[in-house]
């Protein structure tokens, strides 16, 4: 077991740190939150630096790097803002990674180079207005018709919705009931019958494109099918890569909040002394650092053991659930250390708290993850329908 960063990882951290300073990412983070404008201008820059598609297969134009490197990059960028980290997240641990593992040669050739140069982005589309945690009850359906499938249904809360060029849609095929009927296919922006709802307004993650998707008799060619029904478990297993990325976002946001809180505690004075000299502040800071480090160990373990492949479901679930709880706790404590200024939008910690809340729902709720973990601990599946 080696708990140190490799030389390559140290260079990656320095590259992002220098970029963040040069490009004034702290100011940019504030700007994004205020204006709700996604930083699209960063996508090309990230592509030039090799940060897009780092984990995707070399033979298709990706970087062939281990998952941990992408997690480190996401973490470093999310210290400023998860919106700044988002293109690196999507292109490394998002649905394009699932396509890299499960898709056909043609799909990879078509999509991966475009994702690596920033021209394409892919969204994952599972949730529906009436179906979230209970995913196997999804209603979107693809009916076989000649050399195509005709897709009908609606998706909700789709990150990248409207902006992404491609959509990995989880759908039922030919109305086959239960999880056995679920597979996935790629829907392209501009296909006839495919439209978008209004932009979601969230508590945090301001600027993130997100909306409902509508499929009204969308004719999807059969070559766009990524996974046919009957392989739902394989589909969900690849999603654990994204869950590690979600946990990486939490490490970054919490790391950013801890840094801000420490700086403030050394500058702010009360009773004639910097507040960092009060033991209550010290203990709060230590608790933040302790929880962040514990989460980092869980996330890095899941990513390290995944290498360039799939993480263990147990390790990825533990990492995500813990990191999701940790980031809310740490950003909340950071606000407390800032006192009244913590509640003011003039300082970044209230934004970090708002951004933190999303991750324990996105990518599967903390409760659903814990149900899965309990099943693995007890060695039996707890069917929620019975
Ligand atoms: C910021 C953000 C980004 C998102 N991005 C995407 C995306 O890109 N693509 C996508 O497909 N979806 C996305 N989602 C949707 C997200 O995956 C769902 O919101 C999530 O899976 C929960 O589903 P739900 O909202 O329908 O909640 P529900 O399933 O209705 O759950 C409501 C509550 O009940 C709890 N609950 C449900 N069943 C049980 C049970 N058996 N035992 C105990 N508790 C239970 C849940 O934990 C939750 O607390 C995003 C959501 C957010 C907030």
Report residue 356 as tokens.
């933190």
DSSP state, residue 311:
P
For 309, the 3-state DSSP assignment is coil
By the 8 A CB rule, do 352 and 257 touch? yes
Residue 32 pLDDT greater than 90, yes or no: yes
C-alpha distance from residue 198 to each of 129, 210, 344 (Å): 14, 8, 29
How high is the pLDDT of residue 114?
A: 98
| Confidence at residue 69, expressed as pLDDT on a 0 to 100 scale | 98
Ligand 1 site, CB within 6 A: 123-127, 132-134, 157-159, 202, 205, 358, 361-362, 364-365, 367-368, 371, 384
Rounded distance between C-alpha atoms, residue 220 and residue 228, angstroms: 14
Q: How far, in Å, CA of 302 to CA of 315, rounded? A: 5
Contacts of residue 62, defined as CB under 8 A and 6 or more positions apart, other chains included, come to 53, 54, 55, 56, 100, 112, 116
Over pLDDT 90: what percentage of the chain?
97
The pTM of this model reads 0.98
Locate tokens 């201008």: which residue? 41
* In the predicted structure, residue 375 carries a pLDDT above the cut 90: yes
CATH fourth-level superfamily of 122-230: Butyryl-CoA Dehydrogenase, subunit A, domain 2 (2.40.110.10)
Q: Say yes or no to pLDDT of 85 above 90.
A: yes
Q: Which of 263, 243, 261, 260 is nearest to 319 (CA)?
A: 243
Kindly report the protein residue whose alpha carbon is nearest to atom 41 of ligand 1. 384
- 276 phi and psi, to 5 degrees? -65, -15
Q: Which of 127, 204, 317 to mutate to test the pocket of ligand 1 (most atoms within 8 A of CB)?
A: 127
C-alpha 12 – ligand 1 centre gap (Å): 33
Please compute the mean of the pLDDT values over residues 282-286 and round it to a whole number.
98
When pLDDT is cut at 50, 70 and 90, the band that residue 308 belongs to is: confident
Residue 171: band (very low, low, confident or very high) from pLDDT cuts 50, 70, 90: very high
- Quote the mean pLDDT of the chain: 97
> What is the reported pLDDT for 225?
98
Q: Which residue among 168, 205, 365, 371 has the greatest number of ligand 1 atoms within 8 angstroms of its CB, and so is best to mutate? A: 365
Instruction: Give me the pLDDT at residue 220, please.
Output: 98
pLDDT tens, position by position, 310-357: 999 999 999 999 999 999 999 999 999 999 999 999 999 999 999 999
- Residue 269: pLDDT band (50, 70, 90) is very high
Q: Where are the domains of the chain?
A: 7-116, 122-230, 233-378
First-to-last alpha carbon distance for the chain, in angstroms, is: 42
Altogether, the residues listed in the chain come to a count of: 386
Q: Which of 157, 161, 211 to mutate to test the pocket of ligand 1 (most atoms within 8 A of CB)?
A: 157
pLDDT tens, position by position, 248-265: 999 999 999 999 999 999
CATH architecture, domain defined by 7-116: Orthogonal Bundle (1.10)
Q: Taking 90 as the threshold, does the pLDDT of residue 226 lie above it?
A: yes
Distance 367 CA to ligand 1 centre (A): 10
Judge whether residue 386 has pLDDT over 90: no
159 Cα nearest atom in ligand 1 = 8
Query: Residues of the chain with pLDDT > 70: what percent?
Result: 100
For the CA of 131, the nearest atom of ligand 1:
26
Please compute the mean of the pLDDT values over residues 5-18 and round it to a whole number: 98
Task: Give the position of tokens 């890095």.
Answer: 300
Cα gap 253→79, rounded to integer Å: 5
Question: 3-state DSSP call for residue 376?
Answer: helix
Closest C-alpha among 17, 100, 38, 71 to residue 300: 71
Question: How far apart are the C-alpha atoms of 112 and 53, rounded to whole Å?
Answer: 8
Taking phi first (over 0 means left), then psi (-120 to 50 degrees means alpha), and beta for anything else, what does residue 261 get?
alpha
* pLDDT score, position 1: 85
Confidence of residue 290 (pLDDT cuts 50, 70, 90): very high
Probe target for ligand 1 pocket from 89, 239, 250, 362, with the most ligand atoms within 8 Å of CB: 362
Please, which residues have CB within 8 angstroms of residue 43's CB and are 6 or more apart in sequence? 52, 87, 118
Instruction: Note whether 167 and 122 are within 8 A (CB).
Output: yes
User: Residue 189 C-alpha to ligand 1 middle, in angstroms?
Assistant: 25
54, 63 in Cβ contact below 8 A?
yes
What φ, ψ does residue 273 adopt, rounded to 5°?
A: -140, 155
Rounded distance from Cα 115 to ligand 1 centre (Å): 27
Query: Residue 285 — φ and ψ, nearest 5°?
Result: -65, -40
CA of 63 to the centre of ligand 1 (A): 32
Higher pLDDT, 381 or 97: 97
CA of 133 to the centre of ligand 1 (A): 5
Q: Work out the average pLDDT over 295-315.
A: 96
**Pair of tokens at residue 179:** 């999880």
CA of 362 to the centre of ligand 1 (A): 6
> What is d(CA 351, CA 358) in angstroms, rounded to the nearest whole number?
12
* Cα–ligand 1 centroid distance for 78 (angstroms): 22
- Of 88, 46, 117, 113, residue with least CA distance to 249: 88
- Average pLDDT for 21-29: 98
CATH code for residues 233-378: 1.20.140.10
Each residue's pLDDT tens digit, 183-201? 999 999 999 999 999 999 9
68 Cα–ligand 1 center, Å: 26
Q: Which residue stretches of the chain are H helix?
A: 7-22, 25-35, 42-48, 67-78, 82-93, 95-102, 105-116, 232-267, 279-306, 313-337, 349-356, 366-378
């Amino acid at each position: 077991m080696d708990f140190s960063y490799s030389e390559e990882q140290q260079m990656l951290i320095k590259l992002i740190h220098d970029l963040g300073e040069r490009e004034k990412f702290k100011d940019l983070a504030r700007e994004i939150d205020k204006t709700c404008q996604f930083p699209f201008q960063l996508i090309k820059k990230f592509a030039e630096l090799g940060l897009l598609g780092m984990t995707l297969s070399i033979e298709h134009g990706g970087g062939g790097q281990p998952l941990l490197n992408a997690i480190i990059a996401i973490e470093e960028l999310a210290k400023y803002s998860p919106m700044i980290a988002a293109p690196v997240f999507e292109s490394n641990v998002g649905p394009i990674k699932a396509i890299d593992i499960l898709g056909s040669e043609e799909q990879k050739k078509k999509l991966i180079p475009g994702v690596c140069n920033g021209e394409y982005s892919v969204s994952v589309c599972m949730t529906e207005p009436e179906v979230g945690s209970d995913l196997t009850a999804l209603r979107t359906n693809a009916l076989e018709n000649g050399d195509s499938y005709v897709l009908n249904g609606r998706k909700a809360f789709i990150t990248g919705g409207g902006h992404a060029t491609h959509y990995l849609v989880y759908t039922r095929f030919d109305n086959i009931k239960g999880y056995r009927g679920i597979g996935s296919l790629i829907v392209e922006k501009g296909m006839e019958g495919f439209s978008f709802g209004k932009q979601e307004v969230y508590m945090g993650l301001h600027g993130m494109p997100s909306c409902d998707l509508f499929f009204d008799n969308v004719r999807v060619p059969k070559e766009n099918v990524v996974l046919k029904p009957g392989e739902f478990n394989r589909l969900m297993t690849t999603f654990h890569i994204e869950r590690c990325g979600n946990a990486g976002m939490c490490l970054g946001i919490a790391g950013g909040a801890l840094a801000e809180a420490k700086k403030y505690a050394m500058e702010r004075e009360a009773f004639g002394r910097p507040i960092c000299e009060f033991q209550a502040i010290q203990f709060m800071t230590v608790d933040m650092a302790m929880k962040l480090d514990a989460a980092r160990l869980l996330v890095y373990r899941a990513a390290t053991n995944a290498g360039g492949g799939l993480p263990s479901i147990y390790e990825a679930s533990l990492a995500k659930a813990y990191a999701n709880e940790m980031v809310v706790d740490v950003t909340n404590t950071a606000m407390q250390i800032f006192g009244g200024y913590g509640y003011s939008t003039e300082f970044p910690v209230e934004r970090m708290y708002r951004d933190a809340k999303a991750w324990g729902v996105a990518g599967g709720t903390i409760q659903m993850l814990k149900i899965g973990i309990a099943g693995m601990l007890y060695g039996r599946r707890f069917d929620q329908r019975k």
